[in-house]
Amino acid sequence: MAAKLLAWYDREGRTLPWRIRPGAEETPDPYKVWLSEVMLQQTTVKAVLPRYGRFLGRWPRVEDLAAAPLGDVLAEWAGLGYYARARNLHACARVVAEEHCGEFPSTEAGLKKLPGIGDYTAAAIASIAFNEPATPVDGNIERVMARLFALKTPLPEAKPEIKAMAASLTPPDRPGDFAQALMDLGAQICTPKRPACGLCPIRPDCEGLAEGLAEVLPYKAEKAERPTRLGTAFLGVRADGAVLLRERPPKGLLGGMLEVPSTPWGPKDAAEPLAFAPLEADWRMTVGLVEHTFTHFHLKLQVYAAAVPEDATLSEAAEPERCRWVARRDLASAALPSVMRKVLRQGLGE
């Protein structure tokens, strides 16, 4: 099975900037493997491609990343989502630079001690960058294994079983290529919907296909429904065009990123939203409603706007020590998450 899959991978595998082509002389750079793996966590290859190049160009070595201010890293990450990844990436770079002389640990166990590196990423780096006999299991590999073995146990209950199956198939000589081959198979052939079984190199081995279940596996536990949260945001604009923004607390949702100041987001609107305004002004509801969907809730943000004088005093309710005026031309490169870019786009016109 592994041999057939590897032969397919050598022939049909994707060419990606962080990947060394099978058979090449070059040896993988653990820094690049790590960076790509963290960026790819729950994120599509398409979304990562342009960001990976920018990131690497700005911070070519782990020491460069370690020396950067966190705010710069968050700004570069803006729009990619799951911002704890960027915070952990930065923390991890500092640990590697300062405590490991700039060299990543080569074992799965050593890697897993680092911030932002969990089961999957530790096994991925160990196998891909260091040729260690580790078996990463991502969503693709879960799907491929569930189908290959016609596994009817639903996820996430099936995870230990799947890990054992994948480990039993991993060839000792090419663990990293095998993992990447499974991931490419999952991304290109063994897709979640309408898998291209006719093109699959391991079709004869697939018990799921034999049982007519390839398309419906893996089974999954039902997920909770998403509630809706409401809030009111205050877009203050100075005569020179600068916008009032605020840094969010360092952890939690959008931690460390910039936001348009707002009321807390709750199941109901604040009774007196204006009590949360960052300053006294003629707030008007001209912008309207901005809607955004996060992983586990929908947000409906009512946006007020006001022209603000140069000498306006920030109110204590807005926590002025976290506030700053940002020039219009600096917005593009600021640490603004997508939901806040949506607010600005709608509020500043376009």
Enumerate the active-site residues.
Answer: 37
Q: Which stretch binds DNA (CB under 7 A): 68-76, 184-192, 273-281, 282-290?
A: 184-192
Interface positions, 189-228, toward DNA (CB under 7 A): 192-194, 220-221, 223-224
Q: Which of residues 8, 34, 59, 83 is near DNA by CB under 7 A?
A: 83
Q: Are 226 and 265 in contact (CB under 8 A)?
A: no
Amino acid at 93: A
> For residues 150 and 187, which CB has a smaller minimum distance to DNA in the complex?
187
Q: Rule CB under 7 A: is residue 140 a binding residue for DNA?
A: yes
Query: Binding residues for DNA, how many (CB under 7 A)?
Result: 61
Please calculate the CA angle 128-129-131 and round it to the nearest 5 degrees. Answer: 65
Q: Which of residues 28, 81, 133, 171 is near DNA by CB under 7 A?
A: 81
Q: Which of residues 2, 47, 68, 169 is near DNA by CB under 7 A?
A: 47
Q: What is the DSSP letter of 207?
A: H
Residue 18 tokens, joined:
């962080």
**Three-state SS across 97-130?**
HHHCCCCCCCCHHHHHCCCCCCHHHHHHHHHHHH
Residues 220, 208: Cα–Cα separation, whole Å: 16
Q: Which stretch binds DNA (CB under 7 A): 24-32, 58-66, 155-163, 274-282?
A: 155-163
Q: Rule CB under 7 A: is residue 95 a binding residue for DNA?
A: no
Q: What's the half-sphere exposure (Cβ side, CA atoms, 13 Å) at 166?
A: 32
Q: Rule CB under 7 A: is residue 46 a binding residue for DNA?
A: yes
Q: Which of residues 180, 232, 263, 302 is near DNA by CB under 7 A?
A: 180
Q: Rule CB under 7 A: is residue 52 a binding residue for DNA?
A: no
Q: Which residues contact 289 (CB under 8 A, 6 or more apart)?
A: 300, 301, 302, 303
SS3 164: helix
Q: Any bridge partners for residue 289, and if so which?
A: 302
Interface positions, 253-312, toward DNA (CB under 7 A): 253-255, 292-296
Q: What is the DSSP letter of 266?
A: B
β-strand pairing of 298-308 with 228-238: parallel
Chain residues in the site for DNA (CB under 7 A): 14, 16, 18-19, 36-37, 40-47, 79-84, 88, 115-122, 124, 138-140, 143, 156-157, 159, 180, 183-184, 186-187, 192-194, 220-221, 223-224, 252-255, 292-296, 337-339
